[in-house]
A and B are shown apart, each in its own frame.
Chain A
Amino acid sequence: MRLKRYRSKRIAMRPMTRLGAGDLCCLDRSCLRRSLRRSLPVLLTSLVMLVLLGIPGPLKAQIFERALVLEGVHIPLPQGGVLENSNIILKGGRIIELGPDSDAPMMSKKLKVKGLFATAGLTDLSSTLTLEDVSSGDSIASAWDGFDRYDSRQILRALSSGVTRIHLVPMGPGGIVGRVSALSLGSREGGGYGILQNEDVALCIDLDAGSPLERIRTYEKVRGALKSAQDLREAVDDYNSDLEEYIEALEEAAKKKAEEKGEEKDEEKDEEKDSKKDEKDEKDDEKKDDGKDSKKDDEDGPKKPDRPERDPAAQILLQALDHELPVMITARRSADLQNAIDLIEEFQLSAIVRGADEAHLLLEELAALEKVSLLLEVPRSSLTRDGGPRRDPHLIAQLDEEGISWAVGSGGESTSLWRSIQALSGQVDASSPLSLALAQGASGPSGGWLRRGSKEVVLWEGNPAEDPLARPNRVIINGTVVWQRPSGSREGSF
């Protein structure tokens, strides 16, 4: 404290001097260099800060985010075999490098996952995750609206089975129940899980709900809705053509009016010599006359056509009729499948038939349809005869024979997807459950096998391509470990 006081006193005692223009010559080059050397770090830092402030956020994250390295994992390959002791390097949430020769960048975060098997995440093409109590009943409803992003218990269960993306199928009392949404189960910035990827994957029609009589009524209702959408389109087309005619008629009327006005103006020029007062009166009279004339034109002129009422639900149905939106029809029993086939044929729909347990009874009809694929779910049939639809154990082989494309979905909370795929893989020749699982949703941005650019990684205990008891250990989405198998005896989640 004393020293500080002393210094401040000395500074205070120093006489105040100012450098004049003549004094500048006293500053030699060495002085300049010294001062520059002192201020250079400050200048550079401020320059870098300015540049940084100008870079957009995501790019900044990619440049400055530390890479995440999964060291010593085994990567099953599509053609069979395993890439052993590989490193997977993730940056900005995506895989930027993978393989045994990939070196971890400096300052990277390393996960101790040696010996685990890494695959891409599974996609459940038919999920009702968190939609237990949500019911919808028209085409405007979106499954995404009903998704409970904070239901971490259910979502973590789905993640624990290796599912990272789902197609959320809306549930309802039957008929047109809403639109299927595609989402990733990654964690959200604001809390919860679920990142919407596509809100309009398909329009969902359920022909399976209720008693046989209710199912027939449902079919008729759906048919009626599609027909009324077609009628609406015709009405709109008629309106558009009527509107064009109306505009033409209006133009003609306007021309006529302009001609009449021209004649009246000539008469006005002759009367210009009258007094201002008279002019005003006359003008007022003319105005009144004009008003009367225009009123007359309106009465006698073209009538504007009435626009059909807007119907957003019908607009979505029209998208389906125009093949802009595929239709997912739930039908399991043969009778419902026949109804689905009739709908597809009548309205020429691009359809995915969900369920299709008794498809073996209608193979020829299904094969004759264009743009139709089946989305199978593993049936939970009991030994009792009235337990539900029955599936032929050789259905897959029969579908392959007929050239009907198919995929597998859980049809529930997604936890059963991997087991469903395992169960069905036994019916598919020369196919491991893993290749069957990863073939689903392969057309998506990060579907298919693990590759550069993938955002979702599942680490398994055991090789899922060969070991039927292999189970997920961790799930990484967008560079974040969203689920990890709890260790120890007090597991918190299943």
Chain B
Amino acid sequence: MNSRNRGWILLLMGMIGSCWPGAKVVALETTVVISPVAVVAPDGSICGQMAVVIQSDGTIAAVIPADQADPALTTVRAAPGSVLTPGLHDLFGQLGCGQNTLIAGTVLFDFELDAAAAFDPTLAELDQAATHGVLYSTIAAAPAGILNGSSATFLCLSGAEAYPMAAGRPVYALAESVLQSSREPTSRAAMISLWKEWIGDGVAKNKDPGILFCPDSIDFRQTLSLSWKSLPVLVHQGDARSPVERLAGRNALMVVGPFLEDGNPAAVETAIRAARTGTELAFRGGLPATPAHHLRGSAAIAVAAGLDGDAARRALFINPARVVGGDSIGIIEPGARADLVLFSTDPLDPAARVLHVWRGGQRLLKRTRGSIRELGGVR
């Protein structure tokens, strides 16, 4: 982002801030230190008494012990007990799509379909999501073919311009939704044989194993029965408690959820069993239809059911970036984007509130009183 563009963006953000009563953006002028604060480390643990230095280009310059921070720098004092995290990531929801729904499937292997075509950066819901700490949205076409184009990841920032955060990854499907009467494959057996051929030729050439939708238990089991050279990211939301144990020792990455209160406990149990096999999890989103705090809600439900707290934090912040191949997002480390959220306490605590949000080092202030009333719109 060059300085001229940044000026326009700041102007635009200022205009958005003045139009939208709930939030306003404060421009980053100098190096800022957030200190002393507990920070979510790359392993998901919480490290207390740290200082995060954000430089003027909107990246993190350093993560150091609080007592080593230069007191001469502009310092944002974090409230006691607050925890600084990377931005939350809404995976495979509809956030930023509005009424647009991208559906693949007319072509069985669609290499050209780009989910970015369905993204509308002007939607106000992106800023609304940001006030809840959701800073990235990854969208993908509804999986109706074997290859459904590529995913797209954007920063949650309402404006004229979209900010892609990661290169698209191929999105595959081994699911009932692929079967259609009007074209091949019309049966599950045909689909599996097509998959076997594809693995033999296509994926090996492509090298990126991509993201594979296998929503039901049978899809999951048949996926694991294929001879993968490198296992794709598995997107599963059903009851695969039995086959999930076959993930042991395969360094898998699995997208699960969203988990809702009074939802399917078997899906939660599947995720927990997967985590026990050493599989890394990432929670799937569902915005804007699901509750605004759905991602943390999914994590809290999984933790209550037995998931380790560190694994849950990784699934919230770090692993979604791995799923989409984002290099500088989802992590608090030198060189990463300063897309940060300050929670009043551990983000796994249902009582945690979003205190501050930084997007590319720029601070998004939230009004403390009546903000949701104005944001949500009382009818």
- Chain B residues engaging chain A, CB cutoff 8 angstroms: 95, 125, 128-129, 260-262, 265-266, 268-269, 272-273, 276, 287-292, 297, 300-301, 303-306, 309, 344-346, 348-353, 369-373, 376-379
CB distance from A303 to the nearest CB of B (A): 59
Which residue of A is nearest B302, CB measured? A494
9 nearest interchain CB pairs?
A468-B349, A426-B351, A383-B288, A416-B261, A423-B350, A494-B265, A422-B350, A412-B262, A390-B376
The answer to whether B350 and A468 have CB atoms under 8 Å apart is yes
Contacts of A269 in B (CB 8 A): none
A392 and B372 within 8 A (CB): yes
Give B149 Cβ to nearest chain A Cβ, in Å. 26
Q: How large is the interface on A (under 10, 10 to 19, 20 to 34, 35 or more residues)?
A: 35 or more
B262 touches A489 (CB 8 A): no
Contact pick for B128, options A379, A383, A391, A491, CB 8 Å: A383
Contact between chains at A426 and B305 (CB < 8 Å)? no
Would A358 and B300 be within 8 Å (CB), given that A390-B372, A422-B350 are in contact? no
Give me 13 other A-B pairs in contact (C-beta within 8 A), A390-B373, A413-B262, A494-B306 excluded.
Answer: A153-B265, A382-B289, A383-B287, A384-B125, A385-B379, A390-B377, A390-B379, A392-B372, A393-B371, A419-B300, A419-B304, A468-B352, A469-B303
Interface assignment of A381: CB less than 8 Å from any CB of chain B: yes
Please report the C-alpha to C-alpha distance between residue A423 and residue B294 in the assembled complex, in whole angstroms: 13
Q: A-side binding surface: helix, strand, loop or mixed?
A: loop
A360 on the B face (CB < 8 A): yes
Interface residues of A in 357-398 (CB under 8 A from B): 358, 360-361, 379-385, 387, 390-394
* Residue from A358, A418, A489, A493 within 8 A of B276 (CB atoms): A489
A149: chain B residues within 8 A (beta carbon): none
Q: In the complex, which of the residues B266, B291, B301, B304 contacts A381, with contact meaning CB atoms closer than 8 Å? A: B291
A382 is contacted by which of B261, B266, B291, B345 (Cβ under 8 Å)? B291
Q: How far is the CB of B268 from chain A (nearest CB, A)?
A: 5
Which residues of A have CB within 8 Å of B378?
334, 358, 361, 390
Q: Which residue of B lies closest to A379 (CB)?
A: B291
Q: Which of B291, B345, B377 contacts A468 (CB 8 A)?
A: B345
Q: Which residues of B contact A433 (CB under 8 A)?
A: 351
Least Cβ–Cβ distance between B202 and chain A, in angstroms: 35
Contacts of B344 on A, CB cut-off 8 Å?
Answer: 426
Smallest CB-CB separation from B305: which chain A residue?
A494
CB-defined A-B contacts under 8 Å, sample of 18: A381-B291, A383-B125, A383-B128, A383-B292, A384-B289, A385-B377, A390-B373, A390-B376, A392-B372, A393-B371, A412-B262, A419-B304, A422-B351, A468-B350, A468-B352, A469-B309, A489-B276, A494-B268
Look across to chain B and name the residue whose beta carbon is closest to the beta carbon of A489.
Answer: B276
Are A426 and B301 interface neighbours, CB within 8 A?
no
Q: Confirm or deny: A157 has a beta carbon within 8 angstroms of a beta carbon on chain B.
A: yes
Q: A394-B370, A468-B351 are in contact. Are A419 and B301 (CB under 8 A)?
A: yes
Hey, which chain B residues are within 8 Å of A391, CB to CB? 372
- Per-residue interface assignment for chain A, residues 407 to 419, with 1 indicating a CB less than 8 Å from any chain B CB and 0 otherwise: 0001011011011
A161 located at the interface, meaning its Cβ lies under 8 Å from any Cβ of chain B in the complex: yes
B122 to chain A, nearest CB (A): 15
B308 — nearest CB in chain A belongs to which residue? A469
Q: Is A425 an interface residue when CB atoms closer than 8 A count as contact?
A: yes
